[in-house]
Every structure is written in structure tokens, then in C-alpha cells.
Amino acid sequence: MADSPEELAKHKKLYKYVGIWLIVFSCVALALGKIPFLDFGPPGATWEDIVIGLSVSCIKASLVALIFMHLNHEKGLIYKTLLFTFLFFVSLMGLTLFALADPIKESYDTLNTLKGILNFKS
């Protein structure tokens, strides 16, 4: 933490700049969602729009975490915990996507469809 008035002034200046950047990135995110000229690909949400929106959100979250939550001055253990959390999140999303491509469910649905077709013809 800041002990002298000079350090406090320096921190206040940093917080002001970060706040301005957060407002700018919020306006960018709003413009990406509302202005048709900035819509990439066909109308509606596409993967390009989602990637750009999530990138802007990640930048904003990083600024908040590093500056306002003072994580830029933490020890190594907090970074290891954050890395573990991120890897756990990615693995859970991977399992979710893996479950969507389940071949057993697909075979079961195909079998039920074929039963319906065979019963209809009989």
C-alpha cells in the first residue's frame, strides 16, 4: 500500500487511467453488439463475434483483477491457484463438448428413428 502522499497520488492516477480504459472497453463491447457495421460475418451472433466479445471481456477482467484487486503484487501461490482454476474450467468445458458428441446417444437416437420407420411400414 501507499505510505506517502506521492505514492497515493501515483495510485490515484493509475486508478483513474484504468477506470477510463474500462469505460472505453465497455463502449467498445456495446458498439460491437449494437452497430451493424461492426458485426462480423452474417447477421446475428457468430463465432467471430463471440471471440471478439470474450476477448474484450477478458481484457476488462484482467485490468480489474490486476489493478483494483491488487493481484499484480501477489506472491506466486495466487498465480498457481488461478492457473489451476483456469485449467479446471477448460477441462470442464472440454468434458461438456465431449458429451455433446457422444456416439452412444447418437446411435440410440438413430435406432429409435429406425424403429419408428420400420413400424410405420408394417
Residue 121 has pLDDT above 60, yes or no: no
pLDDT greater than 70 at residue 118? no
| Identity at 122, one-letter amino acid code | S
- Give the chain's length: 122
Residues 18 and 67 in one domain: yes
44 residue type, one letter? G
pLDDT of residue 85: 93
Last residue of a domain, one of 73, 88, 114: 73
| Domain match, 51 and 16 both | yes
**pLDDT at site 33:** 81
Instruction: Tell me how many domains the chain contains.
Output: 2
| 87 and 99 share one domain | yes
* Same domain membership, residue 69 and residue 24: yes
HSE (CB half, 13 Å, CA atoms) of 76?
Answer: 0
Question: What burial letters (b/e) apply to 40-74, b meaning 16+ CB within 10 Å?
Answer: eeeeeeeeebeebeeebeeebeebeeebeeeeeee
The span from the CA of 84 to the CA of 86, in Å, is 5
pTM of the model: 0.59
> Same domain, yes or no, for 97 and 58?
no
- CB-based contacts of 28: which residues, under 8 Å, 6+ apart? 56
Print the domain residue range for 92: 75-122
Are 8 and 67 found together in one domain?
Answer: yes
Mean pLDDT for the chain? 81
**Tens of pLDDT, residues 16-32:** 999 999 999 999 988 88
Q: Is the same domain home to 63 and 109?
A: no
The pLDDT tens digits for 56-98 are 999 999 899 888 888 777 788 888 888 899 999 999 999 988 8
